[in-house]
C-alpha cells in the first residue's frame, strides 16, 4: 500500500492507493486522460538537445532513396 500523494494534474491530495490502482499516479480517469491529452497536443517536452539528422535511425523510406 502506498501513502497518500498529490495528483500531478489537479494537485489534489488523493487517498492511499494500492500498487494495482488503474489511475496511479493520477487521482482519477479524468486526470489521467487530461495528462495523455497534453502529451498528444505536444504540451510536454522531454529535455535535451535535438538529434542531428545523421544520429536518427534509418527508416524504410530513407533506405529506399
Q: What is the CA radius of gyration of the chain?
A: 19
User: What's the pLDDT at 10?
Assistant: 94
Instruction: Please state the domain extents for the chain.
Output: 1-44
CB-based contact 25:14 (threshold 8 Å): no
For the full predicted model, state whether its pTM sits above 0.85: no
pLDDT tens across the length of the chain (65 residues): 456 788 999 998 876 666 677 888 888 899 999 999 999 999 988 888 887 888 888 877 645 55
- The C-alpha atoms of residue 40 and residue 18 are separated, in whole angstroms, by 28
For the domain covering 1-44, report its CATH number: 3.30.50.10
Amino acid at each position: 500500500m502506498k501513502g497518500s500523494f498529490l495528483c500531478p494534474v489537479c494537485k489534489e491530495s488523493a487517498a492511499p492507493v494500492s500498487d494495482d490502482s488503474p489511475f496511479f499516479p493520477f487521482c482519477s480517469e479524468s486526470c489521467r486522460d487530461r495528462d495523455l491529452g497534453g502529451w498528444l497536443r505536444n504540451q510536454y517536452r522531454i529535455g535535451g538537445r535535438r538529434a542531428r539528422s545523421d544520429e536518427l535511425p534509418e527508416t524504410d523510406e530513407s533506405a529506399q532513396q
